[in-house]
Structures are given as structure tokens and as C-alpha cells.
Amino acid sequence: MKPTHDPDDDAAARQFIDNLLRRSDDDAWKSLLSDTYARQTQRVLKTIEDAAISSRTHRNEEISALRQKFLAGEIDQQRWDTLADEFSEWRKRVTHFEALVRERRRQAADRADKLRGYALAREVTSTLVALAKAVDEHRRATEDAGIEPESHDRLLWLRLQTLAVPVEEGLRKINLQDFITHRPSSRGSEKTADRSRRRTGRRTP
């Protein structure tokens, strides 16, 4: 069974996950850890975990109060033994349930954090590339005007060769100059590439 709820509908997600926690369905969990659902799954599991902890705290307080009544003679031994056995069985179930919720939430958190990291990396890369384009345009304008660049200009331009940005979701890196020169979506990339070829003496085929 795969989730069909909206990734913003936490109430529907809560119902789906509540049911899923009571049976085994690896395919469904894989779907909940997908790009679409991972963040929501983390939120909902945190809510479920908090509710379980609150329920356990309340139940512990109840059994503690009942024990005090037993010690005070308000509850007989047989009744106390029954209550203690019920509490022990309940505690085993809830301990297992909380452990399962924690593990699933950890998996969702790891996936969600990874997705957030990719999003942040894309945002930072976009800002860095915009700055690199401005530096490259400054260099081209200087060269076109026949102006002799000063040492600080050359050092700034050199950064385009020494600073790298991640591509392919961080699997590899390329320097900024190559990125803005060969990136298909970059406006003016053909002109930049042509200027690079002229500087290296290469002709366009």
C-alpha cells in the first residue's frame, strides 16, 4: 500500500502512519521516505512520538497513584496484582512501539535533512554562480576595453579557477569558470566559451 494523501495534509498522514506502524509494509515506508513525503513523515512521527511519551507519563502517574492506594490498604492484594500485571503488559507493548517510532523517525529525519541539505546547497550554489558571472563579466569588459588589469583584478579572476561548486547532487565538483562557461542554462554561455577559445587559441569547429 502506497500513500495517496497530500504531503501537506498531516491529519491524513497521521492516520496512514498510525495504521502502518501496526503492520509490516516495507514498500509503504520507502514511499514515505521519498522526496515527496520525507519531511511530512518526520513531522508526523515526531507528533506520534510526543503523544506516546505523554501517554506513558500519564500511565506511570496512574500506576504510581494506585500503588499508593494499595500500600494504604485501599486496594486489596488480588486487585493490585491484576493492575500491576496489566501495567507490565502495557509497558512491554509501548516500549516496543516507542522504539519502532524512534527508528522510523530517525530514518525520516536523515532523509529530510539530506533533502534540506541539497536545497541549501542549490541555493548557495545559485548565489555563488551569480557572483561568479558578475566577476566574469567584469573580466570580459576589462579585456574588451583593452584595459590593463591590476593585480587585485587578476587575483579576483583567478578565484573562478580555484573555487568549485558541487554538481550532480554533490557527486562531483567543477570550478566556477567551467560551470558558468559550459552550463547549458546560462545565458551568454556560448559567448563566454568563444572568448575562452580565443584566449587559448582554439577555433570553433
Q: Which residue has the cell 509490516?
A: 24
Residue 187 is predicted with a pLDDT of 41
Quote the CA–CA distance of 180 and 176 in Å, as a whole number: 6
How far is C-alpha 28 from the geometric centre of its chain's CA atoms?
19
Residue 182 is predicted with a pLDDT of 72
Grid coordinates in use for 68?
A: 499508593
Helix (H, G, I), strand (E, B) or coil at 3: coil
Q: In the chain, which stretches have pLDDT less than 70? A: 119, 121, 167-172, 183-205
Say which amino acid occupies 116: R
Q: Radius of gyration over alpha carbons of the chain, in Å?
A: 31
Start-to-end Cα distance in the chain = 55
Residue 170 is predicted with a pLDDT of 52
Quote the CA–CA distance of 115 and 28 in Å, as a whole number: 19
Q: In 3D, which of 34, 35, 30, 3 has the Cα closest to residue 16?
A: 3
Residue 131 is predicted with a pLDDT of 86
Residue 96 is predicted with a pLDDT of 94
Quote the CA–CA distance of 51 and 27 in Å, as a whole number: 26
- Number of CB atoms found within 10 A of residue 52's CB: 15
pTM of the model: 0.58
Residue 123 is predicted with a pLDDT of 76
pLDDT in tens, 151-171: 988 888 888 888 887 765 555
Residue 79 is predicted with a pLDDT of 95
Going by C-beta distance under 8 Å and a sequence separation of 6 or more, which residues neighbour residue 183? 129, 189
